[in-house]
Homo-oligomer: A and B are copies of this chain.
Amino acid sequence: MSGPLPTVHVMTVATSVAAEVAMDVTVRTSDLAEAAGNVVRLLPPRLLDPVLAGLLVRAEPDGLVLAGTDRDRAVRLRRDATTRLAGAALVPARPLAATARALDAPDVRLVVEGSRLAVRTPGARFALPLLDLDAHPGVPEPPEVVGRVPGSLLAAAALPVAGAASRDDTVPAFTGLRIRAEGERLVLVATDRYRMAVASLSWEPVRGGLDVLLPSALVAEVARQVSAASTVEVRRTGSGADRVAVSWSGTTVACGVLDSPFPDESRYLPSTVDCEVLVDADRLAAAVRRVAPYAGPFSSVRLEVGDDALRVQGSDPASGEAEETVPATVDGDPVARVFRARYLGEALSAFSGSAVRLGMRGVHQASRITAAEPAANGVDLRYVVMPIRPR
């Protein structure tokens, strides 16, 4: 024995039920479609194990629970339902989600009939094969709450930050999004090494600390789903913090933390700059978008600071040259820096609707983009973009 076995709280699935599975429950079609679609979007798209590709459908006396797991991520959603016969079944997740989405009847009935889960509406029956419920690992109970945050704020902070993470799975640390509690602020950070986004927002700490690295694609999907929730609870396992979960409006999503070193963002956030330009984010983004087809093989646009203006320039052997002038307020030495068009565009889109301060430093030092005025929702977003070598 190398130590005590970890305690895993498993969603109770009485094994005696498996021999004679039964269920009869009616749910609003829109609820089922939204819930099944959300589970599918929160779990990895391709799971070879058919049992893990299954959706656990559980009719309880007071509602319907959908759950799924790939052994790392675990998702559970509860929706109101009218249960005639409580029970559980495991069925292929994607066909159920596709069927629920395509239905136009207002309500749908889920009934276990022999070796099938029948999805019934007036005039139609879709019969999904029952998978082996006993072989399913179950979905663990969520760990304890460490703090709470409004869904709209979490969405506003997490979506732009997740956009700065890498999609390259060969360097796992940079696919992660770091979430750290600092007293009554929650700090979110992601970087792909060429740019970094840092957001901080107020939250309500409950107990314990939080400093974890999570898959940024999962955080982005959660952010899209929580935006209408008044409260999102953030949870983590006892001391080791090896699992994190978030809960809102009957949904719980849990996953293991990424175990990778992550840079300290404060080293990359410049406190002083050589030149600061105050400019409208959308006007500058539109200019970058128009110049981008002329940005050449390395997709590089040049920003040149002039008197009361920022000039956006591109040059390409085939397309020709482009230059657009955007009105700006300039403070400091006029400089010129070259950026990748996409990184600049994505950074600016995070500040859409507001004016930004673009702070530039040396040729090999990151430039900083911040909102000119504090955001009304209190989310403080800072973006850092590395210039590329001038042409």
Contacts and interface: CB of A to CB of B under 8 A. Distances in A.
Interface residues of A, number: 30
Number of identical protomers: 2
Residue among A92, A128, A289, A293 with the highest chain B CB neighbour number at 10 A: A293
Given A92-B318, A104-B286, A286-B104, A323 B125 contact: yes
Interface stretch (A95-103, A199-207, A266-274, A364-372): A95-103
A123 interface: yes
A132 interface: no
A102 B286 CA distance: 8
A290 interface: yes
A321 to B, nearest CB: 5
A334 interface: no
B124 A321 contact: no
Nearest to A319: B95
Given A95-B294, A294-B95, A125 B289 contact: no
Given A103-B290, A286-B104, A326-B123, A128 B98 contact: no
A309 to B, nearest CB: 9
Contacts of A318: 92, 95, 129
Interface string A92-127: 100100110011100000000000100000011111
Indicate the member of A92, A124, A321 with the most B CB atoms within 10 Å: A124
A244 to B, nearest CB: 33
Contact of A116 (B99, B293, B321, B324): B321
Given A95-B294, A116-B321, A289 B102 contact: yes
A326 B123 CA distance: 7
Q: In the complex, which of the residues A95, A102, A320 has the most CB atoms of chain B within 10 Å of its own CB atom?
A: A320
Contacts of A95: 293-294, 318-320
Given A92-B318, A289-B102, A294 B126 contact: yes
A114 to B, nearest CB: 11
15 contacts: A92-B320, A95-B293, A95-B294, A99-B322, A102-B293, A103-B290, A116-B321, A124-B290, A124-B323, A126-B290, A126-B320, A126-B321, A126-B322, A128-B320, A129-B318
Interface of A: 92, 95, 98-99, 102-104, 116, 123-129, 286-287, 289-290, 293-294, 318-326
